[in-house]
Each structure stands twice: as C-alpha cells, then as structure tokens.
Amino acid sequence: MIDVAIVGGGPAGLAAAIAAQQHGLSYVVLEQGALVNSLMRFPTDMVFFTTPDLLEIGGLPFVSPHEKPTRAEALKYYRRVADTFKLEVRFEERVLAVAQRPGELGGGFVLNTDSRAHGAASYEAKSVVIASGAYDIPNQLGVPGEDLPHVSHFYKEPHPHYRRHVVIVGGKNSAAEAALDLYRNGAASVTIVHRHAALGESIKYWVKPDIENRIKEGSIAARFNARVVEITPTHVTVDEGGSRSTLPADAVYLLTGYRSDTSLLKSLGASVNDADGTPALDPEAFETTVPNVFVIGAAVAGKQSGKIFIENGRFHGAQAVKVIAGRLA
C-alpha cells in the first residue's frame, strides 16, 4: 500500500511526485507512454508561447538561450527534472481501471495496469492523483473518411508534405502554425477550412498577423464558414452554406482540439459534467467528489483544454499532495 498513485507523467504529474517526495510520502507515477508524453504530440519544431521560468517545476531552473523555449529544450528540461529528483516513474504502463477497495470508502484504491514489458499488474494506494492531460483524445468530426491513413489529429513536421496538397481543419494556434510551417517548407498548396467567419482571437500575437497576411496575399488558402463533410483518399469535400466543393488533399490534419479521458473518474463514481467533460472539484485541493481522488493539470479542463497550461497546471500537484500529506499525518 503506497500513499499516492499518480496517473500521468507530464509536468503536473511530475510536480505532484516531487511534492510527495518532499512530504515523505511513498508514491509511484504510472505513465502510459514516454516522459511528458503530451509534449511528444507537439510539432517537432514548436516554440512555446511562454518564457522558460513559467515551465519550471520543483524549483529547478529552466535555462534557455531563447526568450521562448523550444519543444526540444522542454523535453530535455523535464528529463533533467526526473533525474535530479530521482522520480519513480513507470513508463509504458497504462492504468486500465481504478476501484475502491471493498469496505474502504475513500480509504484505499486498487489500480489495475498493463505494460508492454511486464503485462498486467496492480497497485494499492491510499490516494489517487489523476494527471492524465488532455491531448490523448482528439475531438472527432464524425465524417466519412476520418479514419483514413493520410488523416491525422496531430501535426508533427512539414518535410513529408513537400510538393503535396494539404488541408488543415481548424482555426486556432495549432492550425495556424501548421499552415505556416507547411507553406514555408515547400508544400504545393495549403488550405485551412474553418467553421467560423475568422481565425480564433487566441492565436499567438506574433503568429496571427503572419497567418492573416499569408491568407490575404493568397499564399495560404482559407475557406471560412465552411465544414468538411467527407474525406476520400485524394480529396476533401467542403460545404459552404449549402454549396459543396472538393479540395485536393494528399494529407489532412484535423486540428480541432482535444479532451481529457474521464473514464477512470466515471468508473469511480466521481461527478463529471458530460457537456464539457470537466470533473467536479474542490477549487483549492483539486479533490473530486470521491474522497482522496484528485485531478490536476490539463485534465481539470475536460474539453476546454485551452484553459489549463503548464504555466498554471504545474501548481496543482503541490496543492493536492499537501492535502493528502495532512490527512496521512
């Protein structure tokens, strides 16, 4: 029986592990993929919106020669965090189910896991902290062809699309940055398809005029007030106010947002808002309606993943673990 089982090895989960260490609690971090797996989903050459100090956890300095750090620098930093604090992280170990121990309401949990290397396992914990992020489940369009091999919800790099036709669905940061990256690295054509009349106002301030000017001059095409109704191996069909047309598409990126996985919370009986996927939480302790089960980081936001970033989610773990430590003391 350990004190804290932490589900997810992203920045929030690592911060919770550091806090558990500092309070003298036994813990384990169960990560379904690699360290800070959500960052692995980010574009290879991505630059963060923020400064290095706002990505720091555990008081360990994040030193970068750039005003805004890169994805590669962030990955290196969080590896250094894990090594510096000697964090106990089990990689490629997916949590399949969490259940309360019989007769111990709020006083003990069993976590069943599965890993590629070791197969099925189980852990017993006095408390559970879910820090599973919000980038594993993309929002689906629900259109024919969405599951074709040339369609993806995650953009990585431009090189495979040199001299190719690419359609991007979405109108926020990820869509704008992907379009610019593709255009500048030799894509034959890039077309943005967005259901609203204009690009999102939340686009990074140095990206927004760039993408708007590229659209204005025709370097990047844009279809506003439009929606994709079908994807084929070679084309995308778009509906614009009842009028349909097709766009050539060697690759399609559906950058329409993501949501957190609430299946573990629901199986425990925790209250979750079905409309936006947000769990009911104590705003100070991040505790759910099930005693001793906490949610931190991007998972707090449900479908509204744009509300929680590393910058603010990195503090959640310390708050939750402080409550746990107080109860165990």
| pLDDT tens per residue across span 170-218 | 999 999 999 999 999 999 999 999 999 999 998 888 899 999 999 999 9
DSSP designation for 140 = P
Angle between helices 173-184 and 208-217 (to 10 degrees): 60
Band of residue 106 on the pLDDT scale cut at 50, 70, 90: low
* Token pair in block for residue 135: 């980038």
CA 290 – CA 269 distance, rounded (Å): 7
* Token pair in block for residue 291: 């005693």
What lies within 8 Å, CB to CB, of 51 at 6+ separation is 67, 68, 69
Residues linked to residue 295 through DSSP beta bridges, in sequence order? 130
Inter-residue contact 17 to 6 (CB < 8 Å) = yes
pLDDT at res. 117: 87
Residue 5 three-state SS: strand
Inter-residue contact 195 to 217 (CB < 8 Å) = no
pTM recorded for the entire structure: 0.91
Tell me how crowded residue 209 is: count the other CB atoms within 10 A of its CB: 10
* Strand ranges across the sheet with 189-193: 151-152, 251-254, 165-169, 189-193, 221-223
pLDDT at res. 125: 97
If you average pLDDT over residues 276-284, what whole number do you get? Answer: 91
Q: Is 36 a residue whose pLDDT tops 80?
A: yes
Band of residue 259 on the pLDDT scale cut at 50, 70, 90: confident
CA 44 to chain centroid, in Å, comes to 15
Q: Is 107 a residue whose pLDDT tops 70?
A: no
What mean pLDDT, rounded, does the chain reach? 94
Band of residue 301 on the pLDDT scale cut at 50, 70, 90: confident
Which amino acid, one-letter code, is at 81?
Answer: V
* Token pair in block for residue 298: 């991007």
Q: Which helix (H) or strand (E) holds 40?
A: helix 37-40
Characterize the bridge pairing of strands 258-259 and 137-138.
antiparallel
Which of the pair, 257 or 323, is modelled with greater confidence? 323
Give, in order, the Cα–Cα distances in Å from 179 to each of 107, 140, 170, 241, 252. 50, 20, 10, 24, 11
Inter-residue contact 185 to 208 (CB < 8 Å) = no
pLDDT at res. 104: 54
Which amino acid, one-letter code, is at 4?
Answer: V
* Token pair in block for residue 46: 């991505």
Tell me how crowded residue 163 is: count the other CB atoms within 10 A of its CB: 9
Band of residue 305 on the pLDDT scale cut at 50, 70, 90: low
Band of residue 103 on the pLDDT scale cut at 50, 70, 90: low
151-155, 203-207, 263-267, 302-306, range with the lowest pLDDT: 302-306
Q: Is 136 a residue whose pLDDT tops 90?
A: no
Band of residue 101 on the pLDDT scale cut at 50, 70, 90: confident
Band of residue 277 on the pLDDT scale cut at 50, 70, 90: confident
